[in-house]
A and B are shown apart, each in its own frame.
Chain A
Amino acid sequence: MPNKHVHEVNPKRTVITMVLFVVIIVIGLVTLKSPRLTYTLTPLQTLNLVSSNSGSVYPYQLDAVLKGTIDTVILIDIRNKFEYSKGHIDGAENISAYDLTNKENIKRLKDLKKEGMAVILYGNNQLEANGPWMVFRQLGFDNVKLLLGGYQYYTLHKNDLAKTKDDKSYILMQPDYNYSEVAKATASPGSDIKKETKKAPVIKRKKKTKATAGGC
C-alpha cells in the first residue's frame, strides 16, 4: 500500500474518542430525571379550555351535591387551614393550594379520576382557585372543576343556592361600569379638585401600597 498512510488504517484513537463521547451521552440519558408531573394539555389547548367555560361549576349546581343527590363529587377547599376552620362548605375537604401537588394528593386525585369522581376546587373567590384549577387541567385531570363565585358567594346564598340559577352577579369578566362614560363624567373640572391636579404629580413620597390595600 504505497499511498495508504499508516494513520489512516489505524483508527484506534478515533474509536476510543467516539466511545467516550457515546458513554457521556449514555450517562446523561441514564441520569436524566423525568419530571414528576408533566403537562398533557398544550398551551393552546389550555387556552381553548379556559375560553370554553367547560370546567366550571355554577353555584346552583352545588345544591344537588350538598343535598346528596349527586354523590360522585368531592369538594376541595384550597384555602389555608385557618380560613378553612373559620368556615367552609359542608362536606368539603381542606387541601391547601401549597400542598396540592404533594405526592399523596396527586395520587389521591389520580385515584379519584379512575373512580370517575369529579373534584370541585374552590377558594374565597373564583380568582383564588382559578390558577390551581388551570394547573390541574393542564396536568390532565379533566375531572377537576372550578366553583364559580367561590366561598364568598356561597356564604351569601347558603340557603337558596338552587334559586341562584338566574342570578349572574357571581359571573366575572363583565364590566361594572361603562368605562368610557365614567372616565368622561368625572372629568368635569371642579375648582377645588383642580388645585389637586397640580399637586398630584408632585407627590414624591413613596407610599408603600400593599397588595391588599386596593381592596377590590
Chain B
Amino acid sequence: MNKNYLFLAILMIILAGGLLILPERTNYTQINPEDLLWDIIQPSRYVTTDQVAKMLIEQDPTLELIDVRCAKEYDKFALPNAINIPLDSILSPNYSDYLGIEDMNAIFYCNDDILADQAWVIAKRMDISRIYIMKGGLNCWIKTIIQPTPPPETASGDEFDQYDFRKGASMYFTGASISAPKSDSKSQVTIKRKKKTKATAGGC
C-alpha cells in the first residue's frame, strides 16, 4: 500500500471529521445584532396610516398588510386584504412563506405598535427585508382615517389637504364596506407564496 494513499485517506477523514467538531456558528440567514439595532433605530421602518390608506386606495400591488393580532381580533375587524399572522405563529412554516416575498412591502399592524414591533424585530433578525410597521396601529387608523378630526383654522394648507384626503379615505373604507361586502376581504387574499427554494431550478 502506497504511503501517499494512506496519507490521502487520513487527510480526507480528518477533513470530514473536522466538519463534525466545528463549533456551531450563527446562521447566516440571521443578521448581526448590531445591524439589527441599527435598523430598529431608523424611523424609515414606520409607515403612517395615511400612507397605508393611500396604498390601499391605489391598490398598490406591492402592498402586503399583515395583521399580527390573534385570530379572534382579526375576525372582528381587519384592514382590507390583510393577512392574519398572529405574533406567536410568525415563525411557523405555515406563515413564514408570506414574509420576504420578492417585490412586496410587508406592513405589520396591530392595535397599537408593540405587537407589530415585536413581530418586526423577530422578522428583521431573520433577515427579511422590506418590512414595515404601521405606526399607531388600528387605534391610529380609526383616529386618523376613519374618524379624522379637522385641523384648526390656523393650520397650513398641507394639513387641510391631508384632512381632505382622510375624509375621502374614510368614505372609501367605510362606504366601500357597504357596497362591496367586507366579509370578502379574506377571500381576496391572492398573494402568491414565496417559492421554497430560490436556487435555480431544473437539473438535467
Contact = CB atoms under 8 A, between A and B. Distances in A.
Q: Which of A100, A131, A184: most chain B CB closer than 10 A?
A: A131
A36 B143 contact: no
A200 B172 contact: yes
Interface string B142-171: 111011000000000010011011011111
B168 A201 contact: yes
A216 B143 CA distance: 8
B125 A200 contact: no
A98 B5 CA distance: 57
Interface in A126-144: 126-127, 130-132, 134-135, 138-139
A177 B37 CA distance: 33
A35 B175 contact: no
B36 interface: yes
Contact of A127 (B54, B113, B170): B113
Given A127-B117, A182-B146, A197 B34 contact: no
B76 A131 contact: no
Given A130-B117, A201-B57, A138 B168 contact: no
Interface string A26-70: 000000001111110001101100110000000000000000000
A51 B114 contact: no
A26 to B, nearest CB: 10
Interface in A118-159: 126-127, 130-132, 134-135, 138-139
A175 B139 CA distance: 6
Nearest to B14: A22
Interface in A11-36: 11-12, 14-15, 18-19, 22, 25, 34-36
A130 B118 contact: yes
B144 A214 contact: yes
A196 B111 contact: no
Contact-residue bracket for chain B = 35 or more
Contacts of A175: 73, 111, 138-139
A64 to B, nearest CB: 25
B4 A15 contact: yes
Interface stretch (B43-51, B99-107, B187-195): B43-51
B131 interface: no
B26 interface: yes
A18 B117 contact: no
B71 interface: no
A101 B37 contact: yes
A35 B30 CA distance: 12
Contacts of A1: none
Contacts of A205: 161
Contacts of A85: none
A173 interface: yes
B98 interface: no
A98 B114 CA distance: 20
B171 A43 contact: no
12 contacts: A15-B8, A47-B91, A47-B118, A173-B114, A175-B138, A186-B147, A193-B171, A194-B171, A200-B165, A214-B48, A215-B144, A216-B135
